[in-house]
Amino acid sequence: MLGWAAASAVSDRCVYAGVVEYSVYVDPGAQGRGVGRLLLDALITSTETAGIWTIQSGIFPENAASLALHRAAGLRDVGTRQRVGHMTHGPLAGTWRDVISIERRSDTAGR
């Protein structure tokens, strides 16, 4: 497997029925080969087809490649959430992380 994309509802409230939070993961061995863009484009197409009007995600500030990918695909920075992520494993275990919130509002779904 080279990578995956997944989305889930942000809320059970009906006013947010067209909003999902998503993740895109690309295996380190496949990075830089266009896999992330293919996955993100497929996610955008499938969510718009399903009537989703906003997709949103969060990216660590130092993940420049991911931020560049998402910005190139039409997502915009909404802001930085300070100390919202708490690392539970790896070399950063126990640390709190800032996260850049990004989103894309559909030009077709939900209009």
**Considering Cα of 81, then 51, then 6, then 65, what sign does the dihedral take?**
negative
Six token digits for residue 92: 């950063």
Q: What is the mean pLDDT of the chain?
A: 95
The DSSP output letter for 87 is: -
**Residue-level pLDDT at 88:** 94
State the architecture of 3-105 in CATH terms.
3-Layer(aba) Sandwich (3.40)
**Residue-level pLDDT at 110:** 77
**40: nearest Cα among 26, 61, 19:** 26
pLDDT above 90 covers a percentage of the chain that reads 94
Which run of H or E residues covers position 46? helix 35-49
Is the separation of the CB atoms in 57 and 84 below 8 Å? no
**Residue-level pLDDT at 109:** 85
Measured N-to-C along each axis, helices 35-49 and 64-72 cross at an angle, to the nearest 10 degrees, of: 50
Is the separation of the CB atoms in 30 and 4 below 8 Å? no
Query: Does the pTM exceed 0.75?
Result: yes
Confidence of residue 19 (pLDDT cuts 50, 70, 90): very high
Domain ranges across the chain:
3-105
**Residue-level pLDDT at 111:** 75
**Residue-level pLDDT at 99:** 97
Q: Give the mean model confidence (pLDDT) for residues 22-32.
A: 94
Report pLDDT digits (tens) over 57-110: 999 999 999 999 999 999 999 999 999 999 999 999 999 999 999 999 998 887
User: DSSP per residue over 45-61, as a string?
Assistant: HHHHHTT--EEEEEE-T
